Structure 1
């Protein structure tokens, strides 16, 4: 049997647990059962569930207690906890949402609604898991804990998408006095108005069988701009199949039985807070990826980036008969600079040298710091003659203007030696890139041996 995930069912009534197990097992979920809060911490560590379904009241605690216990485990803090409330108990549903539960299902419920909600929550958790580093509890960033209490931002943009202007105005009036976020209203027939302005953080969508609400959900989830926008679906009745379809079309939460101001407010706050956390993790991931290619001292690319970029240049066919060029550049007598002016002075020289070379190179290629005072320059589609001219310009941009240092009585002269090689791509797939780098390194050694502040070329990597 293919198991799609592990679901923990907590309920003091055995018949309720059995019924849920039958429903979930039929959909290929692995089900773990428990009846009390006592011993739950150990059970969570052992089973590591992907989702928890819990009766609102347990023999020795509540669903809110379960949520707090799950949140206390850093590895499970993003596991959704869904409360199961008594039928037609609106107060119980609102209390569960106010307690921070991820959703509430009213018992009894149809299989279709239960499974749709499970699918929706597991998709959301999978996205969070993808933003984490390995199986740890830290989003790439590289040290911010993912277990911080979820709190909505001070201000977010919320849009109401209703069938008529009148409905939109009524909903806005009901929310505006109690919602701290900015509100706008739109009619379902005019999606352009919603998408043409600032992208909302959340959209409250009116859903009906004879209206475009379901297709609107799918449309918003499929667009790059609104893919991460929170979608709250509001249904006029208690149509479980319609609610299930709304969840499968992309709704993050569903309000059944018509517009309830208290419920919409709670769901908006909870969902916007969750979105804020995942947005932070996503931004942290982007920063981590960017920083993994950048040298923090100079702001240039680092060795990791340089080697990958050179490898791509080497494997691509030449254009207009030109090959690629690799240069290795080394600041001359850099140890003397460090000895005279300390590492702070040396760092200032490195940063200024990097700035000059990057400005001189422009868009012709890339320059990377690959270690200490050594730099690598890559030029795609460049003739040896043109590359030699550029190498000399790079040398001159360092040597012709002395460097100003805080502890120096006069500007400090600095020179650089450059070695280059110009193989003809594409390199055979079995030819190691190290031969190209070694060829440039031999040319750099020749430049040093010739008296430094020189440029030397080695025609190929052979």
Structure 2
């Protein structure tokens, strides 16, 4: 796993030591000797993780962290605070400043790599989702970033998998004040347990008797709704080799026994917060993608999607010597509907028109709102005869039944249709649309409520 790590420490010896450890694991390393320098680097370079010393002159690590997390450009960059302070209050202060995790000096190599790898995965996921959101609507990522400020790490749903009842109950007592905590003593039932409940975090003991804890963890992630669930291992000193293996397999974190109450609470809060943030991003991305390609009013694909898809379908039809038909539909006298009954009534007509059109085209056909009261349907592998049949079916479905408008008498609505076809390798999306438009204009001139096929 590669990532660009910024080490911030005013003591050169500490910097060189951390740099050597990370470089040996193929991380790209940048360094800063002050908080101001660190902020400048983060502003101008793409940084994946910041390893931040707390005790620095002029600007301490807490202030650097606060500034990074308050800047929209660096808000999503994970910060791992490294400190000689070991009081719970110091850790809480770091978390309140926005730190994603923390290590206590002297830094243990295994813990260092565990944290860095975990945060690298987090940054990679965040970057991917941010990029996808930006291809949809920029507002989605802005909403997601704002949501990070309001995401709470309390009230989580936690599962402990531990065959040692006393140990499991002690861990449960540490967390139950803040979270809902279930215990599973039979590792073989892990899949069944996560199937029935939506958990936000799983704690797995490394001491499960005859059961391999890493296999148990992997089985938990075979379930669709728990595929991305964070997992923390509870490990003994002798488990270091297996912990390293677990981190390579995608386990999020580990905590060493005997488990310290406040450290456990902090790590659980961090993982739950990350999980909720990732879920928020996914929801925003999915919503933004849908909004980017669909029409709000009708639910049909929009012009932007149509233009791109027509390019794809026409290229495919020409390369495979297949037919392609383009049908453009325009609601007759629609302006008079808006002028007489108002735009709300017009919206009702547009939505009902779209629904009837979709019901009367084929499953392979793609319906889009072209703009205003104009619609278009792409019909792949469709010859003249079949295109005319579909177009007539849609025209009849619109004309044969009036449109109900709340508080008004039912409206009679008709549609004019023009259809063009892919005929030569010289055809382009623009030429197909132009010919369908000309056919539509003929339908309008010849009395409306009819289908005209372009003979090109």
| Alignment of 1:122 onto 2:120 | yes
Cα deviation, 1:321-378, whole Å, max 9, x if unaligned, reads: 9955331111123333344444444333322322322233374633211112111123
1:191 shift after superposition: 3.0
| Cross-structure match for 2:254 | 254
The within-5 A match list for 1:232-381 is: 232-237=232-237, 240-314=240-314, 323-361=323-361, 363=363, 365-381=365-381
| Cross-structure match for 2:392 | 392
**Tell me, what secondary structure is at the counterpart of 2:149?**
coil
Contact preservation (8 Å) 1:443, 1:457: yes
Distance verdict in 2 for CA 1:5–1:237, change over 3 Å? closer
| Cross-structure match for 1:45 | 43
1:284 shift after superposition: 0.7
Distance verdict in 2 for CA 1:423–1:453, change over 3 Å? same
1:254 shift after superposition: 1.6
Cα deviation, 1:188-213, whole Å, max 9, x if unaligned, reads: 33333234323421111112598512
**Tell me, what secondary structure is at the counterpart of 1:146?**
helix
Q: Distance in 1 between matches of 2:236 and 2:113?
A: 21
**Tell me, what secondary structure is at the counterpart of 2:237?**
coil
Contact preservation (8 Å) 1:419, 1:443: yes
1:310 shift after superposition: 4.3
Q: Distance in 2 between matches of 1:107 and 1:59?
A: 18
Number of residue equivalences: 450
Q: Distance in 2 between matches of 1:249 and 1:315?
A: 42
| Cross-structure match for 1:436 | 432
1:285 shift after superposition: 0.5
**Tell me, what secondary structure is at the counterpart of 2:50?**
strand
Contact preservation (8 Å) 1:332, 1:415: yes
Structure-1-length-normalised TM-score? 0.83
Q: Distance in 2 between matches of 1:323 and 1:294?
A: 26
Q: Structure 1 stretch 447-456 or stretch 63-72: which is displaced more?
A: 63-72
| Cross-structure match for 1:159 | 159
Q: Which runs of 5+ in 2 are unaligned?
A: none
**Tell me, what secondary structure is at the counterpart of 1:367?**
strand
Distance verdict in 2 for CA 1:36–1:142, change over 3 Å? closer
Contact preservation (8 Å) 1:217, 1:250: no
**Tell me, what secondary structure is at the counterpart of 1:144?**
helix
Alignment partner of 1:17 out of 11, 15, 18? 15
| Alignment of 1:417 onto 2:413 | no
Contact preservation (8 Å) 2:369, 2:375: yes
| Cross-structure match for 1:79 | 77
| Alignment of 1:146 onto 2:145 | yes
Cα deviation, 1:423-456, whole Å, max 9, x if unaligned, reads: 58xx75x753334333333322221222111112
**Tell me, what secondary structure is at the counterpart of 1:325?**
strand
Distance verdict in 2 for CA 1:189–1:86, change over 3 Å? farther
**Tell me, what secondary structure is at the counterpart of 1:268?**
helix
Cα deviation, 1:3-50, whole Å, max 9, x if unaligned, reads: 944322222433212212232334444433334445654343244532
Q: Distance in 2 between matches of 1:315 and 1:149?
A: 46
Q: Distance in 2 between matches of 1:179 and 1:154?
A: 6
Contact preservation (8 Å) 2:154, 2:269: no
Q: Distance in 2 between matches of 1:46 and 1:328?
A: 50
Distance verdict in 2 for CA 1:341–1:193, change over 3 Å? closer
Distance verdict in 2 for CA 1:86–1:129, change over 3 Å? same
Distance verdict in 2 for CA 1:316–1:18, change over 3 Å? closer
Q: Which runs of 5+ in 1 are unaligned?
A: none
**Tell me, what secondary structure is at the counterpart of 1:205?**
strand
**Tell me, what secondary structure is at the counterpart of 1:200?**
coil
| Cross-structure match for 1:458 | 454
| Cross-structure match for 1:193 | 192
More helix per residue: 2
Cα deviation, 1:83-106, whole Å, max 9, x if unaligned, reads: 22339x464785466545322223
**Tell me, what secondary structure is at the counterpart of 1:378?**
strand
**Tell me, what secondary structure is at the counterpart of 1:451?**
coil
Q: Distance in 2 between matches of 1:372 and 1:335?
A: 10
Contact preservation (8 Å) 1:234, 1:258: no
Cα deviation, 1:213-262, whole Å, max 9, x if unaligned, reads: 23444554576443321111111237544443332222222211333333
Q: Distance in 2 between matches of 1:391 and 1:41?
A: 62
1:390 shift after superposition: 3.1
| Cross-structure match for 1:132 | 130
| Alignment of 1:448 onto 2:444 | yes
Q: Distance in 1 between matches of 2:89 and 2:242?
A: 23
Q: Distance in 2 between matches of 1:139 and 1:250?
A: 30
Cα deviation, 1:155-203, whole Å, max 9, x if unaligned, reads: 4321112244554344334432x13335342533333323432342111
Cα deviation, 1:265-304, whole Å, max 9, x if unaligned, reads: 2211221112111111111111111112211122212123
Distance verdict in 2 for CA 1:382–1:118, change over 3 Å? same
